Amino acid sequence: MAIEPFSGTVTVRFSDAIVAATERAKVLREDGHEPVFYIPFEDIYFDLFEKTDTTTRCPLKGTASYWRVHAVGSSSDDFMWAYETPDAAALAIAGHAAFDPEKARIDVDPAEDKRHTPHIVE
CA distance 105 to 113: 25
Predicted pLDDT at 50: 98
Predicted pLDDT at 118: 54
Q: Is 24 in contact with 93 (CB distance < 8 Å)?
A: no
Predicted pLDDT at 83: 98
Burial 56-79 (b: 16+ CB within 10 A, else e): eeeeebbebbbbbbbbeeeebebb
CATH code for the domain defined by 2-110: 2.170.150.40
- Measured over the CA atoms of residue 39, residue 55, residue 91 and residue 85, the dihedral's sign is positive
23 Cβ contact list (under 8 Å, min separation 6): 8, 9
pTM, entire model: 0.89
CA distance 96 to 37: 9
CA distance 111 to 58: 31
User: Could you read off the pLDDT of 15-28 as tens digits, one per residue?
Assistant: 989 999 999 999 99
Low-confidence ranges of the chain (pLDDT < 50): none
CA distance 48 to 74: 11
